[in-house]
Chains A and B, each alone.
Chain A
Amino acid sequence: MWMWVVHRTTGVAIFFFLVVHVLDTALVRVSPEAYNDVIGTYKTPIYGIVEAGLVAAIALHAFNGIRIILVDTWPWALKHQRLMVWIVWGLFALLMIGFLPRHLSHVFGGA
Chain B
Amino acid sequence: MTTAESKAPEVEPLRPIRSGRSRNHAEQWSWLFMRGSGVLLLVLIFTHLFINLFSGDGVNQIDFAFVAGKWASPLWQIWDFVMLVLAMIHGGNGMRLLINDYARRTWMRKTLKTLLAVCVTTIVVLGSLVIFTFDPCPLDASGDLLPGVPTFCEDVR
Contacts and interface: CB of A to CB of B under 8 A. Distances in A.
A90 B33 CA distance: 27
Contacts of A83: none
A15 B53 CA distance: 19
Contacts of A42: 59, 62
B146 A65 contact: no
Nearest to A63: B42
Interface residues on B, range: 35 or more
B20 interface: no
Interface in B77-135: 84, 87-88, 91-92, 94-95, 98, 119, 123, 126-127, 129-130, 133-135
B39 A69 contact: yes
Contacts of B148: 31-33, 35-36
Interface string B146-157: 111100000000
Contacts of B65: 32
Contacts of A31: 138, 146, 148
Given A15-B95, A42-B59, A48-B59, A29 B147 contact: no
A111 interface: yes
B53 A51 contact: yes
B46 to A, nearest CB: 7
A56 to B, nearest CB: 11
Nearest to A69: B35
Given A33-B146, A62-B46, A111 B60 contact: yes
Given A18-B88, A33-B148, A62-B46, A103 B54 contact: yes
Chain A interface bracket (under 10, 10 to 19, 20 to 34, 35 or more)? 35 or more
B45 interface: yes
Contacts of A19: 119, 123
A18 B91 contact: yes
A69 B58 CA distance: 32
B91 A28 contact: no
A110 to B, nearest CB: 9
A55 interface: yes
A32 B54 contact: no
Interface of B: 35, 38-39, 41-42, 45-46, 49, 53-54, 57-60, 62-65, 67-68, 84, 87-88, 91-92, 94-95, 98, 119, 123, 126-127, 129-130, 133-135, 138, 146-149
Which 4 interchain pairs have the tightest Cβ spacing? A32-B148, A106-B58, A32-B64, A15-B91
